[in-house]
């Protein structure tokens, strides 16, 4: 699930970046959780688009910088994955200045077998 989350967010960052654009990837080690940040300097979003981004009932997709199409489902799926793993996801964006997507995952997740595994 974590690989799918990262793959989708990185693909979106590429899709919405300008040719030869820069994408930054960061992992912050915080108390009890990791925060992962993927930031681009691409087309960005308006405040209206940003507010609708995590609406469960909205499947709108915006074409990428080279008019790449999308279904609007990728972000919905990763939101489900992040929630299933006990994390949170959010975004920050400014039109024509880029976007940053943040998600957090707890350092420890209890499994069904009452043992614990570590994300690292």
Across 18-22, 43-47, 89-93, 108-112, the highest mean pLDDT is recorded for 89-93
pLDDT digits (tens, 9 = 90+) for 37-60: 999 999 899 998 888 888 776 666
Helix (H, G, I), strand (E, B) or coil at 83: helix
Q: What is the mean pLDDT of residues 68-76?
A: 74
Report yes or no: 109 and 115 within 8 Å, Cβ to Cβ. no
Q: What is the mean pLDDT of residues 88-98?
A: 94
* Domains: count for the chain: 1
Share above pLDDT 70 across residues of the chain, in percent, rounded to a whole number: 78
Taken in order 100, 75, 15, 23, the sign of the CA dihedral is positive
Taken in order 110, 116, 117, 120, the sign of the CA dihedral is positive
Q: What is the mean pLDDT of residues 77-88?
A: 94
- Does residue 111 register a pLDDT over 90? no
Determine the pLDDT at residue 73. Answer: 73
The CATH number of whichever domain residue 112 belongs to comes to 3.30.565.10
What does the alpha-carbon distance between residue 81 and residue 36 come to, in Å, rounded to a whole number? Answer: 14
Domain coverage including residue 106 = 2-118
The H or E element spanning position 12 is: helix 2-15
- Does residue 115 register a pLDDT over 90? no
Instruction: Give the contacts of 37 (CB within 8 A, at least 6 positions apart).
Output: 24, 25, 26, 27, 28, 100, 101, 102
Instruction: Give the contacts of 114 (CB within 8 A, at least 6 positions apart).
Output: none
Q: What is the pTM of this model?
A: 0.81
- Does residue 97 register a pLDDT over 60? yes
b/e 103-115 (16+ beta carbons within 10 angstroms → b): bbbeeeeeeeeee
Determine the pLDDT at residue 54. Answer: 81
């Amino acid at each position: 699930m974590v690989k799918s989350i990262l793959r989708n967010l990185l693909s979106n960052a590429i899709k919405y970046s300008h040719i030869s654009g820069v994408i930054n990837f960061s992992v912050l080690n915080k108390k009890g959780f990791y925060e992962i940040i993927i930031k681009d300097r691409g087309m960005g979003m308006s405040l209206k688009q940003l507010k609708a981004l995590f609406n469960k009932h909205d499947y709108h997709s915006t074409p990428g910088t080279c008019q790449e199409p999308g279904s609007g489902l990728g972000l919905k799926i990763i939101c489900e994955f992040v929630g299933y793993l006990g994390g949170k996801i959010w975004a920050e964006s400014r039109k024509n200045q880029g976007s940053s997507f943040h998600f957090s995952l707890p350092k420890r997740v209890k499994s069904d077998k009452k043992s614990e595994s570590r994300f690292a």
